[in-house]
Structures are given as structure tokens and as C-alpha cells.
Amino acid sequence: MKIGTKQLFIQTSSLVAGFMVWVIISSLMPFIKEDIHLTSTEIAWATAVPVILGSTLRVPIGYWTNKYGARILFCLSFLILLIPIVIISYSNSLWMIILGGLMLGLGGAVFSVGVTSLPKYYVKTKHGLINGIYGAGNIGTAITSFMAPFLATTFGWRNTVKFFFILVLLFSILNFIFGDKQERKITHSLSVQIKGVYKNPKLWVLSLFYFVTFGAFVAFTIYLPSFLVTHFELDKMDAGIRTAGFIALATFFRPVGGWLSDKINPLLILMVVFFSLTFAGFLLSFTPSLPIYSFGCLLVAFFAGIGNGAIFKLVPLYFSKQAGIVNGIVSAIGGLGGFFPPLILTIFYNWTGHYAIGFMSLSEFSLASLVIVIWLFYQDKLELSQKIVYHSIDGICITDANGIIQNVNPAFSRITGYKLEDVVGKTPSVLQSGEHNNDYYRSMWESLLTKGYWEGIIWNKRKNNEIYKEWLTITAIKDDAGSIKNYVAMFYEPKDRL
């Protein structure tokens, strides 16, 4: 078995185990609240608290993975998770649940290990699919949501929590034995890496996108069991099965989103994702009947899953040299996206008696993300055009409609000797050699005004007064109304093409 395939299997399995532990409290909350009497607000806090460390620790864990390797990080993380499992299994108050839940967040934080480690074993063209497969470790939350209610009904919720002690200890040992001891290490300073990316607006745009997609996934995962029981009066096991179905659907489509992003522009995929999430949030805000509510949840699962996969294709595209730290920041903010919705839903329900405003916030955040994705899509096209101009081997000069130079590329400076600051605000007449009379230039302008272009041989003068021959093409750029906005001149020395 190839080392990359082996690590993909081990790390994805470890993520499944970590996510199984991460959602113990939310999956068992219908049972816990019967033993430890909690208000709706206290339930919201108890189920949301694991997200705090599960999010904030993702940045340093991503950094430590680069420094020490996935084997060490998974081993230590699973050993530490033994502590909150013991605390929760013996809890008899809200504060013990919250303390255990806070530490339990480490189970969600290990997400940063794989997205930092696994790309080292694969070429870039497979990063979307690989991160999507690894991200499918989210299925761990579905396994717990499905199994925990059945186990709790038979053995009690405290014994059910203790079963996870064995699981966590087992995966710590497996990673110690089978983890890659030779993983390539990266030892750049954490502060240096953060300084290198935090001013880049694309970091915060990707963070917002993941805040919405993964945040929606986490929020529905931790809130659905209690919500379905209290709001629709479903049986606790029925609520667990429905929650598991939601998680399974979102998880299945995460690698699909990564695979699609390897084939199609990820920004186009995200346009569809955020449009659909906008509609789903709008639908849920009207407090519909159970069938319509179920349809809205399925929409969220389907498109949040695809969106989660697509976003982590964009990270190495935009941040090839800082992918580790950016993965950590983006995934951390995405995790925090799951912390706030349950609290907001509960607060607004206590104020208004319904969940409309809370679910509408999902719709509004998705709509804002849709607008930003569209802007980013066209911004990328503009940046591509600028790169083409910048790297062209032909000299390029751009003027406004009056012939005043606005910009030139490096090839212009290489051929003429004039830098941008030498010519901006002036006319191309600075290049005139005196070899052509006024009739020559008059004919050039007549062609530009009547045909929209001119091309031919022209003698110009460099900054050092050397006269040279170039092949020049000038094109008039018009707006939608047909008015000339700019002129673009492209030229090269004929001897360069011999």
C-alpha cells in the first residue's frame, strides 16, 4: 500500500473517531436532561460549548502538525480526550457537563491534522478530492447520533459515554503504531506564518464561506436531536436517526464537492451552494410542518456538504505556501460558525416564541456569501487578465480615450527603457523618433477612429535616444454604448521573432 493511501485511511479513520467523541453531549442531551434538569438555555450552552475548543484549537493544531507530524498530534489528542470522557460520565451538574464539553472540543479540533498533513502525499490536482475524502470523517458525528440513543436506552447514558473511552484509547495506539514517522516537517514560526496571510482578504472571505457551510453543518448536528424532540415531539431514537441521516448526507457530498472542484471552477460551485442555502434558510424560517422542515434540512445537508468540499480546494490554490496555517484559520472560524446558531435560535425563541429570525440569519449570511462569491469570480478573471498583460513578452501600453498613458507592462520598459513612472500621465509621443511626418500619424488616427485598430511598422526612440524598429498594433476598446474608453498598443521588435 502506498504511503499516501495508508495515511489517508488512518487519518480519515481517526477523524471519524474524533468527531464521534465531539458530539457525545448533543447526541445524548435528550437523556442527560432527564437526569440533570436543564433549562432550554442551559441545554443550548451545553451542546454548543464543545465547539469552542473544537474551533479555536484548529489553528495551533494545524501549525503543530506541520512541526511534529500527524502521528504525534493524533496520539496526544486522543490521550487527552480520555479526561473529558471520564468527567462527563460522572457529571451531576451543568458545570461538570460544560467543563467536560469544553475539553471534548479537541475531538473536533483534530480536523486540522489531516487537512495539513495529507496534501503532502499528493499532487495539487488531487487536493480537492483528498481533502473531501478526509472531510468525510464528519460521518463520525452521524455514527454517534445514530448509535448513542440506542446504547443509552439499553445501558444508560453514563455507560454509553464510557464506551467511548475504549474507542479513543484504541485510536491513540493505532496512530502510534501505524502513523508516518517520516512525515515531512515544516518549522516556520507560527507568528511569521500568520503575518504572511492575515492581511490577505481572501483568507477572511474563505473563512466566511466556511463559517456558513461548516457552521450550518455543526449547528444542525448539535441542535437537531433536542430540537426535534422538543419542537416536533419526536421519539428520542427517531430524532437521533433523523440527525444521523442529515449528517450522513452532508458527509457523503463533501468528497463530491471536492471532486467537482477538481473538475470545475470551485467558485461556480459555491454560487450554486450559497443560492441554495439562502433558499433553505428562508424556507425554514417560516416554522414549517415536519415534512417541509425535513426537506429544508436535507437541502442544507446536501449543499453544505458540497460547499465544505469546494472551499478546501480553494485554500491551496490561493495559499500554496501557507496552506497549513490557512487551513487552520479557515477551519477554526468554520467551527465557530456552529457555536453561535444554537444560542441565537434559543435566545430568539425565548424572546419571540418561534425560530423564524434565527433561521433567517442562515439565509442572510448565505445571501451575503453569494454576493461575495460572484465578486470573487469576476475579480479572479480580472487578476488573470492583469497577469497576462504583466507576463506578456510583447510591450503593452494602455491609454485613456485622449491618448494619456495609464499603464505599461514590464516588456514595455525592457524594450523602450522607460519605466511606468516615466511615462504615466504622458502621451506616446515620448517615443517619437522624428522618422515619420505628421501625415503618417494622421493616417494612424483616422484608421483608429474609423476601423478601431491600426497596425504596421514604426520607428520609435528608446529612453537612451537609440532609434529602433517595432511592429505596432493599436486597438480601440469601447464600452457598451460604443464610446471609446481606452487604446491598447502592443508591440515587439521584429528581430525578436526571427
- Tell me the per-residue pLDDT of 468-488, one tens digit each, with 9 for 90 and over: 999 999 999 888 778 888 999
Task: Give percent of the chain with pLDDT exceeding 90.
Answer: 36
Question: Residue type at 130?
Answer: I
CATH 1.20.1250.20 residue ranges in the chain? 3-388
Given CATH 1.10.1740.10, say whether it is the number of domain 3-388: no
Residues in the chain: 498
Q: Which residue has the higher pLDDT, 24 or 359?
A: 24
pLDDT at 345 over 80: no
Whole-angstrom Cα Rg for the chain: 29
Q: What is the pLDDT of residues 237-273, one digit of tens each?
A: 888 888 888 888 888 898 888 888 888 889 999 999 9
The residue with greater pLDDT, 422 or 355, is 422
Distance CA 16, CA 149 (A): 18
pTM of the model: 0.69
pLDDT, tens digit, 9 for 90 and up, residues 170-184: 999 999 999 999 888
Diameter over CA atoms, the chain = 99
List Cβ neighbours of 77 (8 Å cut-off, separation of 6 or more).
18, 61, 106, 107, 109, 110, 113
* Average pLDDT of the chain to the nearest whole number: 86
Task: Pinpoint the residues of the chain covered by CATH 3.30.450.20.
Answer: 393-497
User: Over the stretch 404-451, which tens digit does the pLDDT of each residue have?
Assistant: 999 999 999 999 999 999 999 999 999 999 899 988 988 988 888 888
HSE value, Cβ hemisphere, 13 Å, CA-based, for 414: 14
The tens digit of pLDDT for each residue in 271-283 reads 999 999 999 988 8
For the domain 393-497, what is the CATH code?
Answer: 3.30.450.20
Q: Is 333 helix (H, G, I), strand (E, B) or coil?
A: helix
CA distance 64 to 80: 16
The pLDDT assigned to 498 comes to: 44
Q: What does the pLDDT look like over 197-209, one tens digit per residue?
A: 878 888 899 999 9
What are 407's strand-pairing partners? 398
Q: Is the pLDDT of residue 43 over 90?
A: no
Specify the range with the lowest mean pLDDT, choosing from 73-87, 276-290, 327-341.
327-341
Within 319-403, where are the H helices?
323-336, 340-352, 356-391
Cell numbers for 15: 477523524
Q: Mean pLDDT, to the nearest integer, of 51-57? A: 83
pLDDT at 323 over 70: no
Q: Say whether pLDDT at 457 is over 70.
A: yes
Considering only residues 161 and 285, tell me which one the structure prediction assigns the higher pLDDT.
161
